Amino acid sequence: MTDVERFAHAGATLVAERRGRGERVYVLIHGIGMGRSVFADLERHLGDGEVVAFDLPGYGEAPEPRRVLTIERTADLVAAYLRARVRTPAVVIGHSMGAQVALEVAVRHPALAERIVLIGPTVDPTARTAPRQLWRLLRDIAVESPVVIARGAREYLRAGPRLRAKFRAVLRHRPEDVLPRVRMPALVLRGEDDIVAPQQWCRRIADTLPEGRLAEVAGHGHETMIRDAAPAARVIREFAGSV
Q: What tens digit of pLDDT does each residue of 135-152 get?
A: 677 666 644 555 554 554
Radius of gyration of the chain (CA): 16
Which pLDDT does position 5 carry in this prediction? 97
Q: Give every strand in the sheet of 50-55, ordered side by side.
A: 2-9, 12-19, 50-55, 25-29, 90-95, 113-119, 186-191, 212-217
Strand 90-95 relative to strand 12-19, pairing: unpaired
Distances in Å between the Cα of 138 and the Cα atoms of 106, 199, 203 are: 30, 18, 23
- Side-chain half-sphere CA neighbours of 111 within 13 A: 4
Query: In whole angstroms, what is the distance from residue 179 CA to residue 200 CA?
Result: 15
Q: How many CB atoms lie within 10 A of CB 180?
A: 11
Which pLDDT does position 149 carry in this prediction? 45
- Side-chain half-sphere CA neighbours of 198 within 13 A: 10
For residues 83 and 10, the answer to whether their CB atoms sit within 8 Å is no
Which pLDDT does position 111 carry in this prediction? 97
For residues 113 and 107, the answer to whether their CB atoms sit within 8 Å is no
For residues 94 and 102, the answer to whether their CB atoms sit within 8 Å is yes
Which pLDDT does position 13 carry in this prediction? 98
Give the phi and the psi of residue 143 in degrees, each rounded to 5: -105, 10
Report residues of the chain scoring pLDDT below 70.
1, 135, 138-161, 242-243
Q: What is the pTM of this model?
A: 0.90
